[in-house]
A and B are shown apart, each in its own frame.
Chain A
């Protein structure tokens, strides 16, 4: 049943064109990040020359593969994150709002399966496109910088996968609680802000999923130290499962 429901999600994603938004934005950032990293110093130098600011001395270190991946993860954590939230936040709440959920539930489809099919679909499609984006970034990084340290980049990407697992769980929770897109977005934003505010306390960092993004940069710049991330990964996964369970429990109790 979950597989059939996931197929329904895929068809919906194709029909609404959301799949192309996700694919092309991820592909774009996968390709553009190494290019921007490579050519930004040259662009700035040319800009200085053209603007007749020869007196101005700008010294930029030569770009490396690290700049490429730092740029890539910056895009993933900002624009791609926003795209993912906007694409998925109404997945349950809008079905409640438009009364399409009640048709499935009234047909005897299990509420748990209905939610899990949405979550699994979102995980699979997002991970798959993220992987494509990562491969594109890796290829262009190698092409432009002639080097590509596999361990650093894959490990940092793994951290992003964990982070996205948390974000998608939070999306499911928010969407399950909210009765429409705006309500769900509000719940999501509220919880997201709380986690971000926790970053003020450095001793909370090992327990805060938001720290995963700074760890990505550290692993790219300094090298991978799994010990630093272990607590973070475990706690992020615990939060994710709690959010998923709460989302399901809340939906089970709701009147449609």
Chain B
């Protein structure tokens, strides 16, 4: 079952199509990575889903409710904006207590979520928090009312490696209990925690697939070859129609292949004809980064 479904969702500004006929499906219970370069339309999608902006055309169904007709679904969503800001003069506990009261949540829950993000004993005002602490507080806030769906807009983008790891571990720990819609342009983060990814560029959805299937589909397209004279091999391969591109990596050549069967037949032949010695040959599993760049190009 899909927790989010969008139908030809569009958002046009004066001179720009921020989102163009987006048809997105997000299954329930997974960590969903919403990928795209800066300005691709990730935040616009989130703002439309959360009633922070109105679509120009189209609609979305979230947890069975049409976002144009109902706002009840919003109470079942936890949202972390890309730059979370809080009332700086409160402590984390005071802030969440206020929010708990507004949302009708038991105040015991405040301590629970603060413990989960390791801020339970933090007595300082939010204004003095580091970026990572604010991000963790943001996640605590999203969990406060125990929502079914978490929408996290670039939760790791401005964090140092340690902060990123903490947030990713936290998100990963929620896997199974919640659906997590997670937008980012950091590809390694998606690879680490997501079950499924969608790639968006210039407001258009380019792909929406399970990470495993995606890797299978794009597997055996990357080959690394090491021979005793890589210049000769590079010269012979560079104009072959089944080669997309070649990169030199240390002493090896990294080949991106269009037609794998042709490569399997031709490469041994070229090595043999040019009297080269084969040192290493390997099919590489593509990373999300490889797939991302291939898809968006």
Contacts and interface: CB of A to CB of B under 8 A. Distances in A.
Interface of A: 1, 4-5, 7-8, 11-12, 15-16, 98-100, 102-110, 255-256
A106 B102 contact: no
B77 interface: yes
A112 to B, nearest CB: 12
30 contacts: A1-B102, A4-B101, A8-B101, A11-B90, A11-B94, A11-B98, A12-B87, A12-B89, A15-B90, A98-B85, A100-B87, A102-B52, A102-B81, A103-B79, A103-B81, A103-B84, A105-B51, A106-B51, A106-B74, A106-B77, A107-B75, A107-B79, A107-B102, A107-B103, A108-B51, A108-B72, A108-B73, A109-B102, A255-B53, A256-B53
Interface in B73-106: 73-75, 77, 79, 81, 83-87, 89-90, 94, 98, 101-103
Nearest to A99: B85
B87 A5 contact: no
A63 B79 CA distance: 63
B81 A108 contact: no
Contact of B85 (A8, A12, A100, A109): A100
Contacts of A102: 50, 52, 79, 81
A98 B87 CA distance: 9
Contacts, number: 67
A16 B79 contact: no
B148 interface: no
B71 interface: yes
B47 interface: yes
Given A15-B90, A98-B85, A108-B72, A103 B141 contact: yes
Nearest to B70: A108
A255 B86 contact: no
Interface in B93-125: 94, 98, 101-103
Contacts of A100: 85-87
B51 A4 contact: no
B47 A107 contact: no
A98 B47 CA distance: 16
Contact of B89 (A7, A16, A106): A16
Nearest to B54: A255
Interface in B136-175: 141, 145
A56 B73 CA distance: 79
A105 B102 contact: no
Contacts of B84: 99, 103
A104 B145 CA distance: 13
Interface string B58-70: 0000000000000
Contact of A106 (B52, B90, B101): B52
Interface residues of B, number: 28
A99 B81 CA distance: 8
A91 B48 CA distance: 25
A255 B47 CA distance: 8
Contacts of A8: 98, 101-102
Nearest to A11: B98
A10 to B, nearest CB: 10
A11 B87 CA distance: 11
A74 to B, nearest CB: 34
Nearest to B13: A255
Contacts of A12: 87, 89
A64 B54 CA distance: 61
A3 to B, nearest CB: 10
Contacts of A109: 102
Contacts of B86: 100
Nearest to A98: B85
A106 B75 contact: no
Nearest to B78: A107
Contact of A5 (B73, B85, B102): B102
B50 A106 contact: yes
Contacts of B98: 7-8, 11
Nearest to A109: B102
Given A100-B85, A255-B52, A7 B101 contact: yes
Contacts of B102: 1, 4-5, 8, 104, 107, 109
Nearest to B103: A107
Contacts of B141: 103
A105 B52 contact: yes
Contacts of B101: 4, 7-8
A109 B50 CA distance: 11
A62 to B, nearest CB: 49
A111 to B, nearest CB: 9
Contacts of A110: 71
Most chain A CB inside 10 Å of its own CB: which residue of B89, B94, B141: B89
Given A7-B101, A100-B87, A106 B71 contact: no
A108 B75 contact: yes
Contacts of B74: 106-108
B235 to A, nearest CB: 56
